[in-house]
Structure 1
Amino acid sequence: MVDKLKKIWLEGEFVDWDEAKVHVLTHSLHYGLGAFEGIRAYRRGDGQTYVFRLKEHIDRLFDTCKLIAIQPRFSRDQVAEATVKILRENGMEEGYIRPLVYVGDGAMGVYAHDNPVRTMVVAWKWGTYLGTGATENGIRAKISSFQRHHINVSLAKAKMMGQYTNSTLAKREARIAGYDEAILLDTHGYVSEGSGENIFLVRRGKLMTPPLSASILEGITRDTILALAREEGIPTSEEMVTRDQLYLADEVFFTGTAAEVTPIREVDNRTIGEGQVGPVTRRLQKRFFDIVRGTDNSHPEWLTRV
């Protein structure tokens, strides 16, 4: 459960948590058209709080708005400023931040082009997304019976509300079956991503992940890990991945703003590698956490001080 904080940024103003309300005829509530982001802020080794890759997240939010043809009333700079200020307003040293652009109430029906486009930013405290011990020990995952949207059925690069119904169904199925997370294949049977994460595998020292031309979200943590892997001299490849390649991998892990870098120790009751966090995963995990929480200052462009 999300702990109630003090303030939420709604349409350009900070309002009390309990006063941030929307009408029941809000169009996005009924039809799922809207854009959102997930951003993390960390307290680093110098004792200061930094938002991780703020610009890239705000750019992706506005890219999603372009893809789904809605125009926010606020600029990128205004939303970015609100993302930083929401932490200050709530006295947060660390947190998860959710900017959201949605279609407000007015006309009903699928096409309501004159309804106002509204923007909000909320923050909350969020620990390890996939459960206590997930990043240290790894998780169990299941190939979902639900497939990731075909690229001609939806907009795979959009982080839009309605598209996550698919993810929710996959996640619910996996959890009911006793697993921690789902892995979705695309409509051709290739490995796509988790319910809210990109996926990587390591085979014989080579790091692989599905390409951006596949039905995957263009993950910002995904991009971070690819950059760090190249810096570490780890061979990397963006290519289509089959289910059997996943089963036979030496290491598998998820990446995402919420999931961070989470190892996968088992897929469909098949042990991955030695059934524990592998050396490549551990190495990349360490670099990632050294940057966001430690004293690795090799990428100052990724950090926005609060």
Structure 2
Amino acid sequence: MDSNIIHETDEIGRILNVSLDRPVHLMVDYALNYAAMGIPVFPVHGVRAYQGGYICDCRQGVDCKSAGKHPVTRNGHKDASTDPVVISRWWAKPPISNIGIPTGSSSKLFVLDVDGPTGEEALEDLHAYYRARQGDHFDCGTETLQSTTGRGRHLYFNYREDRPFHGSASEIGSGLDIRADGNYVVAPPSLHRSGRRYSLVGASTPVLDPPDWLMYEILQRETGIFGHTEQPLRRSIGCNRGEAIMDGTRNIDLFKYGCGLVNSHPPDEVARRITEINAGQCVPPKDEKELGRS
């Protein structure tokens, strides 16, 4: 794929910006637009109206636990294509499928999936931590192309094949998932089971390179540094030294500290240590319910 198509223009946002008034039957046109930009796509089950809400259009219907999000094709994201003939055939007949995009090396895109309020809080904690340490050099990364989801948002970034990595779920923070090699995302203007469409935020926004702090978080996880000892985590050092952990970074400090213990300590011991640090070092301490969510 020509990197100039995506990496140096606003072509994705310009072509695919979605209005809720656009007819759903044009979904194939959106799929073909992605393909024309070198982004492979594949069909994902859509949703249909049912008793005042929406359910999956697959055979499981109301019992489907992944409504509007799981692949139609046998091999899922591995079947993704840029061939207009194949794509037109996939979207030729009802029910109208949602659009899936494989992340990682095949699309040259990866996604930070921010899942609702929990993800937003974790992301803000990360921002606060790195902003305090990088000052004017801090780049939050939110200037890149984004789309709304059912209750959160997707942040799209350029994926570099010389720094490959796989996806992860809540490893850099609660409610923050990375979609990369081996993963996919549901793309605009697909219909979420909530009845809301996945929609791009800003038609002229380009896809940018990820900020350094995000790659640092991802690659430490990918290389297995986290979880092997108590003190490879730069944020857990403050916990170990007895330093104060201030509001704004408490969630991420405690989360990373716990990650450094899980492989070498039983769960009860991990919980005990985190509770002690919360009571003795967090300013102010998190309440028990809030601590449990961290």
TM over 0.5: no
Structure holding more strand per residue: 1
Higher-helix-fraction structure: 2
Taking structure 1 as the reference length, the TM-score comes to 0.30
Higher-Rg structure is 2
